[in-house]
Structure 1
Amino acid sequence: MARTAVVCGAGGFIGSHLVKRLRREGYWVRGVDLKVPEFAPTAADDFRTLDLRDPDQCERALRIPGGVPDEVYQLAADMGGMGFIHGAECEIMHNNVLINVHMTHAAARLGVPRYFYSSSVCVYRDMRPGEPEMAEDGAYPALPDNEYGWEKLYSERIALAYARRTGMAVRIARFQNCYGPEGTWQGGREKAPAAICRKVACAPDGGEVEVWGDGTAVRSYTYVDDMVDGIFRLTQSHLEGPVNIGNPEYVTVDELVAATAATAGKRIRIRHVDGPVGVQSRNFSNARIESLGWRAAWPLRRGIAATYSWIATQVDMPGVRIAV
């Protein structure tokens, strides 16, 4: 008999890719979201449009033919890139806390055996460039840089409290920046790799792109196939407590632009402008996820090549209006 899963946030970028992976693994999958995937049909066996801020709709999401799913993957969130995170603090905290309080409670009450929660490295404090790797316990004493990070940290604690109380197996991943094809690439909610790919695709050879800040902020960017592989391995594993998942290849924002320009075969000038940057640096240990045999298989240049090719195709589609 096929194993069953419900993916909350299945209309989003990572969630829609996760549905495809679970289907390849032989699962029967229900996808749940406020919206269907934007760029490709859902791969879910059953897709429900539900508002998971509502407790009754959370329970409806989890009641599948034959009972409750073997696994729930909770990725539903109101989120976006740094501009959105800094400009929508109240919406993020209100909507995401409601989703996570009600979904965790519903899963535990209905007897879901295994529950995955998608957290973020935004739970960590700012770091200095070159600072030693931070393990998961470095999130305390808590000092996230933004309200999204505080909400994620609180929601982790909700999930862990229900695990202690009910015995539900909870697995928590702290995502680093994720990118790849079929992700949001314009409109204000896109992440840095997608925004840079769009800007470079729209710029002529020898042209100029804007970058928020001075371009020295250090980040790691994880290709979506690697992220989904980490999610799946972690959920099947024995690992309790939060687990970092991210590519150990760190670059500055200016280096990200250079890699994208090289992929495009263009000479690109950078103009630094004021804008929300977030923390100055990131550097996290992946030892826990690597203990499961996981390794990032997509180096940045390979992942950017795949992402740029897809976004350049979107930019060139007839009738598409571009917000550069």
Structure 2
Amino acid sequence: MKRVLITGAAGFLGSHLCDRFIKEGYQVVGMDNLLTGNIENIEHLFPLKEFEFYYHDVSKFVHVAGKLDYILHFASPASPIDYLKMPIQTLKVGSLGTHNLLGLAKEKKARILVASTSEVYGDPHVHPQSEEYWGNVNSVGPRGVYDEAKRFQEAITMAYHTYHNLETRIVRIFNTYGPRMRLDDGRVLPAFMAQALRGEDLTVFGDGSQTRSFCYVDDLIDGIYRLLLSDYHLPMNIGNPSEITIKEFGEEIIKLTGTKQKLVYHPLPQDDPKQRCPDITKAREILGWEPKVDRAEGLKLTYEYFKNKIEKGN
């Protein structure tokens, strides 16, 4: 049985990765310091002999006894609310944490996949964003702590690949949604749904003309799984190229929830990207991957999840 270490295991994406790898017959070691993760996301896995959990901060030295075939590094605050509140921890997990896990991968002769982000493209001048675009990032702006942590993470991962001949993979993740997201994480989808469920008007920053592209979590996890097992070592976009303006998206949420709210407009935060849409040509050609869940279906599943949580008092 192959053994995989997943950091950030109690987070939104990490917990879904744990499920997928157990389903595929792997022994899964989950690791999380629960800074932004939620143990409830993985508590259903604790009775399984295929799962073990390490409570640990990967910014400190990482040791896992026994063999490891794969490492997936998904530990990091990922929402603006979190990384603006915890800028130092965000920079440390992207730099020190990534260094520690690359060292562990080298020691174990394991293949490592690191979770990068579409935020490496910053506020892009190229649209849609392909992997060859170098980005437009303000390194000293409020979002710089996250953007530059991820850009450094990519750089050191490539350095380990080149200098140590380490088997590495880099996934650039675009906006993803689905069950186990936090309602309070500050990103546009949970923010809209939380406001709708509370009977509040939906807050749009700027004039609402900025765009996002939303990928359902099951599609994203499948893309990551395929990338890990592929022979491709350069960064790859995984996301849904179906683009929508924030204004249109807010209107979709109001229609979905059947509420009477309206959109209210606030100033756009500094360095907020005006456009975000992945070019997934490489994922299609190399992995044979593209998203299957359309936004209407995915939003309905996500809304039911959030509604149930609120009804249960969670």
Q: Is the TM value for this pair above 0.5?
A: yes
| Residue 266, structure 1, aligned to residue 259, structure 2 | yes
Which consecutive residues of structure 1, in runs of 5 or more, have no partner in the other structure? Answer: none
> Matched residues in 2 for 1:123 and 1:46: separation?
32
Secondary structure (helix, strand or coil) at the match of 1:138 reads coil
Instruction: State whether residues 198 and 312 of structure 1, in contact with CA within 8 Å, keep that contact through their aligned partners in structure 2.
Output: no
Q: Which amino acid aligns with 1:114?
A: R
Q: Which amino acid aligns with 2:304?
A: S
| Residue 200, structure 1, aligned to residue 200, structure 2 | no
Alpha-carbon spacing, 1:39–1:259, altered in 2? closer, same or farther (3 Å):
same
Secondary structure (helix, strand or coil) at the match of 1:171 reads strand
> Matched residues in 2 for 1:161 and 1:42: separation?
37
Q: Which amino acid aligns with 1:37?
A: I
Instruction: State whether residues 122 and 136 of structure 2, in contact with CA within 8 Å, keep that contact through their aligned partners in structure 1.
Output: no
For residue 51 of structure 2, the aligned residue among 30, 45, 52 is 45
Match of 2:229 in 1: 236
CA-to-partner distance for each residue in 1:214-249, whole Å, 9 max, x for gaps?
Answer: 222101111110110011000000112100000011
Deviation at 1:83, TM superposition (A): 3.8
Deviation at 1:71, TM superposition (A): 0.6
| Residue 11, structure 1, aligned to residue 10, structure 2 | yes
Q: Which amino acid aligns with 1:22?
A: F
1:221-232 matches, cutoff 5 A: 221-232=214-225
1:94-105 matches, cutoff 5 A: 94-105=92-103
> Matched residues in 1 for 2:300 and 2:189: separation?
11
Deviation at 1:91, TM superposition (A): 3.6
Match of 2:301 in 1: 306
For residue 93 of structure 1, the aligned residue among 91, 95, 106 is 91
For residue 284 of structure 1, the aligned residue among 265, 278, 303 is 278
Deviation at 1:259, TM superposition (A): 1.4
Which consecutive residues of structure 2, in runs of 5 or more, have no partner in the other structure? Answer: none
Instruction: State whether residues 123 and 137 of structure 2, in contact with CA within 8 Å, keep that contact through their aligned partners in structure 1.
Output: no
Deviation at 1:274, TM superposition (A): 3.1
Alpha-carbon spacing, 1:84–1:76, altered in 2? closer, same or farther (3 Å):
closer
> Matched residues in 2 for 1:250 and 1:226: separation?
16
Match of 1:27 in 2: 26
Instruction: State whether residues 119 and 174 of structure 1, in contact with CA within 8 Å, keep that contact through their aligned partners in structure 2.
Output: yes
> Matched residues in 1 for 2:263 and 2:194: separation?
14
> Matched residues in 2 for 1:125 and 1:281: separation?
10
Q: Which amino acid aligns with 2:235?
A: P
Q: Report the count of equivalent residues.
A: 302
Match of 2:111 in 1: 114
Deviation at 1:70, TM superposition (A): 0.8
CA-to-partner distance for each residue in 1:127-166, whole Å, 9 max, x for gaps?
Answer: 36xx543311102686677311111011111111111222
> Matched residues in 2 for 1:48 and 1:21: separation?
19
Instruction: State whether residues 40 and 182 of structure 1, in contact with CA within 8 Å, keep that contact through their aligned partners in structure 2.
Output: no
Bigger shift: residues 158-167 or 208-217: 208-217
Question: TM-score, structure 1 length as denominator?
Answer: 0.86
| Residue 168, structure 1, aligned to residue 166, structure 2 | yes
Q: Which amino acid aligns with 1:233?
A: R
> Matched residues in 1 for 2:40 and 2:186: separation?
13
Deviation at 1:192, TM superposition (A): 1.6
Secondary structure (helix, strand or coil) at the match of 2:54 reads strand
> Matched residues in 2 for 1:150 and 1:68: separation?
32
Q: Which amino acid aligns with 1:305?
A: K
Q: Could you say what the CA RMSD is over the residues aligned between the two structures, in angstroms?
A: 2.1
> Matched residues in 1 for 2:292 and 2:260: separation?
28
> Matched residues in 1 for 2:256 and 2:42: separation?
24
Instruction: State whether residues 261 and 267 of structure 1, in contact with CA within 8 Å, keep that contact through their aligned partners in structure 2.
Output: yes
Q: Which amino acid aligns with 2:214?
A: Y
| Residue 70, structure 1, aligned to residue 42, structure 2 | no
| Residue 249, structure 1, aligned to residue 248, structure 2 | no
Secondary structure (helix, strand or coil) at the match of 1:107 reads helix
Instruction: State whether residues 126 and 281 of structure 1, in contact with CA within 8 Å, keep that contact through their aligned partners in structure 2.
Output: yes
| Residue 123, structure 1, aligned to residue 129, structure 2 | no
Bigger shift: residues 168-177 or 158-167: 158-167
For residue 156 of structure 1, the aligned residue among 133, 154, 157 is 154
Instruction: State whether residues 200 and 264 of structure 1, in contact with CA within 8 Å, keep that contact through their aligned partners in structure 2.
Output: yes
Secondary structure (helix, strand or coil) at the match of 2:172 reads strand
Instruction: State whether residues 179 and 191 of structure 1, in contact with CA within 8 Å, keep that contact through their aligned partners in structure 2.
Output: no
Question: TM-score, structure 2 length as denominator?
Answer: 0.89
Instruction: State whether residues 115 and 172 of structure 2, in contact with CA within 8 Å, keep that contact through their aligned partners in structure 1.
Output: yes
> Matched residues in 1 for 2:130 and 2:8: separation?
27
Deviation at 1:95, TM superposition (A): 3.7
> Matched residues in 1 for 2:127 and 2:90: separation?
30
